[in-house]
Structure 1
Amino acid sequence: MNSNQWIFRILSVLVAVCSFFTGFQYAAGASSIISDIRFADRKDHSSMSIIADLLPELKLSFDRKSKTLSVRLVSASGAKIVERLKYSDTIIDSVSAVKDQPAGDTLIKVKFKVANISFYKTSATGKPGLTLNFREIKKPMRIKGAAPEQMTAKALKPVDQKKEAGVARKRAISKKKQKRLAILDEKYRKQEAESGRKKYVDIMTMFRQLKFRETASEADRFLKKYPKSIYRQQVYFTKAESLYLLAKFENKSAIPDALEAYNEAIATYPESPLIPQALMHKGNLYAQQEFFIEAVTEYGGLIQISPKGKYSAPAMFARGKIYITQKKYKKAYNELEKILILFPNRREVRDVKYLIAQSYADRGKYKIADTIFREALKQWPTYPKSHPKTYFTIASNRYRLGNVKQAMEDWYSIVNLFPTSFQARRAMLSIGDVYVETGQKRKAANIFERTIIRYPKNDESVMAKMRLASLGAEDPDLLKHSRIFDYSAFEKPFETLNNIIRKGPVKKFGQEALLRKGEAYTTQKRYLAAVIAFKELLRTIPDSRMSDKVFNLVRENFLEMIRAFYKEDGFFMVLITYYDNFDPFLRSIENPEILVKIADSYSKMTLDDRAIEYYRLANKFDEKQKFLPITAFKIAEATLRKGMYKKAERSLKLYLAQFRTSPYTITALHLLGDAIYEQDRPVEAATQWRLAIEADTGNLRVSKTAFKLASYFRKNRQYSMAIDSYNLVIDAHKPMGARSNSERFIIKESYYQLAESYYLDQDYPAAIQEASIAKTRYRDDERNVWMDYIMSSSYEKINMDEMAMASLKNISESDSASTIGKVASSRLDNFEWKRKNPDLFVD
């Protein structure tokens, strides 16, 4: 074969292939034109014939609930036929057809009058197309022990005389056979009457029609009327099933009746194959009432009698859920693991996987839960998006692990996918709470407001109002009044919470409202009002787990009251608050800061023994020794006030050695001088006082120490040293003045003692000046007479006799009866005699 022939053959093959594919594509893309659609009502069925130029491809789907068959004719058209298509008969209720424009298909919907329909396809008669036939399914009822043909409705009807005559003409029946047949007929009639077959059929029909209450009532009547019926077993269990479904979907009060019916059925027929289902449903009923022990027992009995049966896996699953509810997580895990091992291909495996993860999340083992959730999501990624409870658990678990962004996305998805679900409402609250935690309070307020508007009749609406009220109490300026959004709960927080407390159930909303009310008062530093709210809450939940939290809140508010009183120097109120609420709220305080404040209050009230006790108690709980520089000084100070001077001296010297940089170091130097002085060591004390004053002239104790030092110098006739010290006392208070009565006394004494010290130091001009200042500052003081006398004596010493006489005259006139007045009068007489006899006083 030459090369040309090979080339010719190859070209031929190529042309053939191209022709084949071109024809195939044309055939595949060709559309069918519907020329007619015909319906017919046959004797026992209906038919629909579709006449078309090309046989169209059919796609059928039947919705049993709506009793509708959808027939899609792929790439088929026939606008006029589709528009006028209408039909109904004994089986078909209605017919409609539409053109699916995007796909180019024709969609025919056939709605039937009954749900039990069979349909099959045949070729159309005479023309291209096809025929769909529809037939109602009528299942024959069977009686145990009887042949089906003998127990059909046809066989049990009275004998048609005409037909019998016709048969007789065709074939003669012997009298013997006729007698035998008559006996059989009578037997079957009696059997049917005893079995109550017709009544049984009615009961089962009612059950299928979901008439559960009527089914149970008819079942009771059936059991009384037909004691020998072969249907009794089925009726017993049907009655129980009816009551079970009634309790589950309509009326929970039917639970006891359902349990009693199951017990009666099981006791009557202990070998029945229906027992596993009965035990499963009994367990469900007990679980519904939270009788978990009984529920677990029923599930266990089911698993024991049917370890690999239809209901074993659901029973294990239900038992695992109960263990999780009871927080018996190890048992739950073991139970659920059995399902994974024994039934690896069952649908429950998927639910088990997610439930195991949820059990770990409930136990707070969020990392393990997250790992299992991830494994489950790889196998069944769409499961959470059809199970809102699981989806919500996954989101909450992610939030607890710190994946806030993903959790927020999940919560938003739940709100969008299941907008009316319980989980969607809780997701809205969770989103708002996260915004509050992250400081985005305005966004939180918007979410809470949307929750109130979207779910006005649900509990979450009330919960959102409480959250808005808390935001309003915490930051009233966060939002402005709006005519569009409802921020009334924010604008009137306490009114909102009070309304909820007054109207809502105590256990449902009242407790949280009281809690938030107390927290709002705390935020506004209205501690007493907060305590009242929390105490009211404690009365409503004395045995609740929440009571511990509320107890601590009451206690914390009392501690805040102590801090507030202490800050305002209300030491008496600190002690009153402490004593009035000691039992039970303040009995065991372990906060060193509060203990120091209580000790300081005792100290200010001069209760030094109690003060020392509480300073030491503060040291006991001060693990980091934060307050030790304060408490050590305060203990030494209280010891000094108690008159234990030697012990105080030791404590102060130890303090000065340990805490050289403490803010109390200078004050400790002053107190050390006091302790030494009280032990009759004045010289050493004076040295210590001078060191303390020189260390910091601005110390609050300078005036007291300087006054003591001045008194010491004056007593020892060291007047110049005394004068310096008195001046130091006066100068120490010039910027702010005296802060207490004791300081006012010291200043006043210093002015009078300063004038006298100048006089004794023979600095007469200074004595006159200081005496005059003392008289001017303290006009009503009795010692002003003495100041006048010092002034007159000082004037005399500097030969200012006229001024001296004026001062003496003032004394004699104002206080003539006193000793100083009499001395002044006598000296005034001497001045007069001296004036009259100047020769006697020539220098």
Structure 2
Amino acid sequence: MPGLFEKLLSSFSSWFSMLFAKHCIEPCHHAPLRRATSPLADLNTMPVFSCQPLAAVSRRCPRLGRLRWAVSAESVWSLSIAFWIMFGVPAAFVLVFGGGPALALEMSLRQYPQREQVELRLPVDISTTSTVPLVRRVEGQVVRLDLPGVSQSELADLDLPSPAGARLLTAFLREPTGLLVRTSTEAFGFVSQFNPSTGLLLVDFFPDSLGNRWRETAPRQASPSAPPTLQARPGPSSERVPEPSEVPTTSPPEPSAVAPSPPSQTRTATEPSGTPDQRIVPRVEPSPEGVTEEVRRPLQERPGDEAVAPISMAALIPADSEETPQIRAPIRSVAPAQVDSPDPDTAPSRIQAQAPGAIRSPISRVGPEQSVPVAPVAERSVERQAESPSEPPAEPVTVPPDVARPPEPLMRQPIVRQPVAEAETEHEEDAEPASGVEAVPEPTPFSSPSIPERAEDPDKQHQRLLAAARAAMMNSEFDVAIDALRVLSNIPDLSDTAREEVLYNIGDALFGLHQDELADNFGPIAHAYERAMNFNPKSRRTPLALRNLGVLHLRVNNLPEAKAYFNVLKRDYPHDPVVPTTEYYLGQFFLERGDYDQAADYFQIVVQNHPEHSIAQQSSVGLSKALNALGYDEQAFQVMDFMEKRWPRYYIDEPELLELAGIIALRVNALESAKQRLLTYYNLIPDTPDADMLLARIGDIYLLSGQPDPAKRVFERAAKLFPDEEGGLIAKMRLVEGGIHDEPSLDDIFAIRRAAEVYSEIISKHPDSPLAAVATIKLAIWQIWNNRLEDSLMVVSEFLENQPNHSLVPKALEVGVEAFTQLVERNAADGRYPEILEQWRENVFLHDLLDDLSPSTQLGLAMAYWTAGEMEQAIALARPYLREDTPKELQIAALELILGIFLEQQEWARIVDLAPFREELPEAQRRELTYSVALAMENLGRSEEARPLWRGLAEDLGLSDAQRGYSLYFLARTAMQEEDFERVYLYAQEALSLLLLDREDPGKIRDAVTWLTQVTGRTGRLQEALAWALELDQLIDRSDPDWSMSRYRLAQLYQRAQNHAEWKAVLENLKAEDPQGLYGRLAASALQGRTLEDSAGRFF
């Protein structure tokens, strides 16, 4: 138990020390936040924070490096004891009495969005030391997990997890000494961690395009005389130290092509190297006894014209070590302005001088008896950065033990922060392999060190001008850099390496100087890059030049040429970090031109395929803007949510993105999220030009959230601060409407007069405002609700005439149709058809909307045409509703209208054409149509066809008296033509009785009486015939053309009845009234004949 207690105490002490160092020693050096006074503090209960000072926060806080704090053993021990008292005792109790270390092999697979994790729990025996497993890549798609200490039986009993659903991992296989993990692609990387105390092995697999470059190499065979290489001293993180071949060189800063410029595209210096073996080494803390305290002091900036003095460096070698270890320090990239050529006459007793700003390994002081030879560290000069193949690497210098003097204490100095340029790493196919740190040969007691002769540097005399150009490039002083670079480009004896740097820097400087006006400076920039690439097409800076040339062509709208440059870049340098930026610039090109579909496609390529790239944030912003413009609100919200989680402080550089995020959240009804973002933006920049719209949207959010009182206060504030701005005008409309009515609707009722005044003010005082059109439509709606239909039509007509292509034209037409519909309904009820026709002719826009008018409105318009005497126009409007698919109500109304027009115009043939509609009509309408068709047939001389219709109508007591009298009249006439006297007597007598009720058709009445007189006279009923004749004589006036004939027939009946006195009186009257007429002369002749007969009778 004491041993167990000590192990637990040690574990908890180490864990707590790491926790203390992580959370207390390495804080984030961002500007502090303080509570700010919000302009809307009375409206929003949410705490509002702002960053002070704002200018400092808007810039990204530079990484100040990892601070290393010295913590005494006593303080750590005290903290450990306190932690043990609180948590250690319960944990020890559970461990001892409730369980113990795992004694069985377990394996599981976890899947995450960007990685997949294999977890192995190895058997742990606390009485022995755990053996460290080995994870290494043995094939392109195979990773081996060597598990020493695990028996084959334990491997056989291990339950292998299923890789179903995994994107990278495809299978797990057993081996005699461990496991094999197969992947679906070679483009992957992995990181492993092992905890010896718990036996937990974690292996994380993640996509990595550099994994395709892995090649299996034979392991290095250590020379018998060469000492083994020690691991670099572990730092705060667990990242491995890069090999010398992985160290990138530096390049001048890459100027941005668009604003906002994408973030720095500096490549990491710890890319996967493809080394076949990666052994997991437990974390080893440095022994305090072997390391002396480091003394650091600030490093003063070196003047540009002073030479760099060589700096000596010694490493600590333990005195009791039998082998001479080789100390390897991580090599970092150095800014060009901070690197000068080394002194070729460096003494062999000194290590080669490192460039100012290079990061060196810790230095320890030892006694003279402990000093050992140390191999020099190979240094890359400016020429090495430019890939000069002609310069051989510096050979190692051997220092005998008896010659080396004790190193003096070195005062290590912090690095002075310089503007960091956008660095581009070398391509593996273009990079020159670095020699790294070479082994130290066995010392020779009697040999003297040999120093190789170095050629005179041709660029040494121009170092000052080169340094000035590099410094100007680093500080983005492109105009100064261009002057220096052009002078350098004209120097004939400049080395090829320096000339290449100068030519490419000229192109970069011109590009950066004119980044806002690339189109106007197309020629000089393109010529500079073409000159540089012609000088060295295989330069490591060619990818950036190709990218910038593509961007340059985009600025002059030469899309095919830009794509050609981008395609060359992707083809020749597929793994270069600038490749993803081509998709970004293409997306930005289409976004600026309103082609949001293509813009979204290009931005999505970057976000999906290169989420770790520095350009991914700008691409996410562009993608959200494109999706927002396309109306894909849900997708845009998802992109913004991803960006906020990935880059929580994304709005520091572009606060305007908060407004975009708020608008997108508002569209998906995420009201709280939208309110927070918009309020944050307004509180950060209250004087933004969009402040009026921000307040209007915040008020809308309050309304949508059911908080009308805060909304009212926000709208009142907006209307007061911005009375003539769009947001203020919106606020005014919200206040009078009492809600959100952005899209005018006829269902919105604004009865208050104040609404009309606000609308009229916006229309008259702000005719160019986007709200003027909305106010116009709302004013027309307000007039409809207030029964000012003629005014509403006039407002709509003026709007359509002034803004025929406005987006609200469909809504204006809808309002105009509604106003005319209500006007027709009102005036038709009052019989004011001329006013209907007047409004129809004045509002010409209605003519194109005839089909959109309701059927009742069209029939009302047809009635207006009928009353105006324009029969054909009326018929044209009503005839379409006679179709079979027309509702019965509309069909009946149209039929009655058309039938009335035909009867009035006596269009008998067209009336007969309506006969087929009789069968489907209700009884009343069918009776009317049958009567009209029968009447039309009679007038067309088709009495035989009309007789069945008249017979049915005569028996239909539902007909009016006049219509039934006509039916019997036509039946009597037909019977008279057939001399069917009995039917004539019946039909004529009944028709006469019905026609005499209203006496509207005297002609038909006389005809009926005449037929009765003739029928009774011809059948010998003289007295009845004489009575009908006297009745007819009463019905016929003296002015009637048939009066003479009627009087003459009356005289004949008197004569047949032997009533000669009446006979003679009627003829005398007829002779006197119509002496020249036919019947007058017949009367005179009859009277003369009667006189002759009477004279002759006196003689006989």
**TM-score, length of structure 1 as denominator length:** 0.50
For 2:297, the equivalent position in structure 1 comes to 133
For 1:524, the equivalent position in structure 2 comes to 783
Is it true that 1:603 corresponds to 2:603 in the alignment?
no
| Cα distance between partner residues in 1 of 2:503 and 2:555 | 22
For 2:676, the equivalent position in structure 1 comes to 413
For 2:761, the equivalent position in structure 1 comes to 495
Q: Residues 243 and 258 of structure 1 are in contact (CA less than 8 Å); yes or no, is this contact kept in structure 2? A: no
Distance 1:435 1:269, change over 3 A: same
Question: What SS is found at the alignment partner of 1:309?
Answer: coil
Distance 1:332 1:500, change over 3 A: closer
**CA displacement 1:266-314 (0-9 Å, x = unmatched):** 3343324334324434544565677655654543443344222110012
Distance 1:398 1:588, change over 3 A: farther
Structure-to-structure mapping, 1:352-501, within 5 angstroms: 363=630, 369=635, 380=646, 404=669, 407-419=670-682, 420=685, 448-451=715-718, 460=727, 492-501=758-767
**CA displacement 1:503-525 (0-9 Å, x = unmatched):** x5xxxx36x52453244234424
| Cα distance between partner residues in 1 of 2:884 and 2:506 | 70
Structure scoring higher RCO (CA < 8 A, sep ≥ 6) equals: 2
Superposed displacement of residue 437, structure 1: 9.3
For 1:256, the equivalent position in structure 2 comes to 520
2:772 to 489, 501, 513: 513
What amino acid does structure 2 have at the position aligned with 1:534? L
| Cα distance between partner residues in 2 of 1:479 and 1:426 | 26
**CA displacement 1:58-96 (0-9 Å, x = unmatched):** 5576679889979898999xxxxxxxxxxxxxxxxxxxx
For 2:922, the equivalent position in structure 1 comes to 660
- Ranges in structure 1 where 5+ consecutive residues have no aligned partner: 1-9, 32-55, 77-127, 155-183, 481-488, 695-703, 728-759, 762-843
What amino acid does structure 2 have at the position aligned with 1:148? P
Is it true that 1:612 corresponds to 2:806 in the alignment?
no
1:637 to 873, 896, 900: 900
What amino acid does structure 1 have at the position aligned with 2:487? F
| Cα distance between partner residues in 2 of 1:67 and 1:705 | 105
Question: What SS is found at the alignment partner of 1:148?
Answer: coil
Distance 1:238 1:67, change over 3 A: same
| Cα distance between partner residues in 2 of 1:716 and 1:618 | 42
Is it true that 1:149 corresponds to 2:335 in the alignment?
no
Superposed displacement of residue 390, structure 1: 7.7
Q: Residues 719 and 731 of structure 2 are in contact (CA less than 8 Å); yes or no, is this contact kept in structure 1? A: yes
Q: Residues 392 and 414 of structure 1 are in contact (CA less than 8 Å); yes or no, is this contact kept in structure 2? A: yes
- Ranges in structure 2 where 5+ consecutive residues have no aligned partner: 31-58, 73-291, 309-334, 346-352, 357-453, 785-791, 971-987, 1001-1029, 1032-1100
Superposed displacement of residue 411, structure 1: 2.0
Higher helix share: 1
Distance 1:637 1:495, change over 3 A: same
Superposed displacement of residue 315, structure 1: 1.1
| Cα distance between partner residues in 2 of 1:298 and 1:225 | 28
What amino acid does structure 2 have at the position aligned with 1:497? I
Is it true that 1:311 corresponds to 2:578 in the alignment?
yes
Structure-to-structure mapping, 1:566-585, within 5 angstroms: 567-569=826-828, 570-579=832-841
Superposed displacement of residue 415, structure 1: 0.8
Superposed displacement of residue 417, structure 1: 3.5
Distance 1:520 1:246, change over 3 A: farther
What amino acid does structure 2 have at the position aligned with 1:134? P
Percent identity, please. 13
Superposed displacement of residue 536, structure 1: 1.1
CA RMSD, Structure 1 to Structure 2 (Å): 6.6
For 1:111, the equivalent position in structure 2 comes to none
| Cα distance between partner residues in 1 of 2:757 and 2:898 | 51
For 1:535, the equivalent position in structure 2 comes to 801
| Cα distance between partner residues in 2 of 1:204 and 1:431 | 50
What amino acid does structure 2 have at the position aligned with 1:256? D
What amino acid does structure 2 have at the position aligned with 1:222? V
- Matched pairs, number: 571
Question: What SS is found at the alignment partner of 1:627?
Answer: helix
2:487 to 216, 222, 244: 222
Q: Residues 676 and 684 of structure 1 are in contact (CA less than 8 Å); yes or no, is this contact kept in structure 2? A: no
Question: What SS is found at the alignment partner of 2:766?
Answer: helix
| Cα distance between partner residues in 2 of 1:279 and 1:298 | 6
Superposed displacement of residue 659, structure 1: 3.4
| Cα distance between partner residues in 2 of 1:497 and 1:202 | 62
Structure-to-structure mapping, 1:205-220, within 5 angstroms: 205-216=471-482, 218-219=483-484
What amino acid does structure 2 have at the position aligned with 1:586? D
**CA displacement 1:646-670 (0-9 Å, x = unmatched):** 643663x6555423289x7797689
Q: Residues 796 and 815 of structure 2 are in contact (CA less than 8 Å); yes or no, is this contact kept in structure 1? A: no
Question: What SS is found at the alignment partner of 2:540?
Answer: coil
Q: Residues 821 and 854 of structure 2 are in contact (CA less than 8 Å); yes or no, is this contact kept in structure 1? A: no
| Cα distance between partner residues in 2 of 1:637 and 1:437 | 56
For 1:550, the equivalent position in structure 2 comes to 809
Q: Residues 479 and 509 of structure 2 are in contact (CA less than 8 Å); yes or no, is this contact kept in structure 1? A: yes
For 1:773, the equivalent position in structure 2 comes to none
Superposed displacement of residue 458, structure 1: 7.4
2:890 to 623, 627, 651: 627
Q: Residues 465 and 496 of structure 1 are in contact (CA less than 8 Å); yes or no, is this contact kept in structure 2? A: no
| Cα distance between partner residues in 2 of 1:235 and 1:275 | 13
| Cα distance between partner residues in 1 of 2:711 and 2:927 | 53
Superposed displacement of residue 602, structure 1: 1.9
Distance 1:624 1:362, change over 3 A: farther
| Cα distance between partner residues in 1 of 2:664 and 2:490 | 59
Question: What SS is found at the alignment partner of 2:299?
Answer: strand
Distance 1:291 1:640, change over 3 A: farther
Superposed displacement of residue 398, structure 1: 7.3
Q: Residues 592 and 627 of structure 1 are in contact (CA less than 8 Å); yes or no, is this contact kept in structure 2? A: no
Distance 1:13 1:465, change over 3 A: same
2:819 to 544, 560, 570: 560
**CA displacement 1:668-688 (0-9 Å, x = unmatched):** 689679768978999879959
| Cα distance between partner residues in 1 of 2:545 and 2:533 | 12
Superposed displacement of residue 625, structure 1: 7.2
Distance 1:673 1:693, change over 3 A: farther
| Cα distance between partner residues in 2 of 1:623 and 1:383 | 65
| Cα distance between partner residues in 1 of 2:730 and 2:488 | 52
| Cα distance between partner residues in 1 of 2:555 and 2:725 | 23
Q: Residues 590 and 618 of structure 1 are in contact (CA less than 8 Å); yes or no, is this contact kept in structure 2? A: no
What amino acid does structure 2 have at the position aligned with 1:273? R
**CA displacement 1:477-503 (0-9 Å, x = unmatched):** 6798xxxxxxxx9953322333222xx
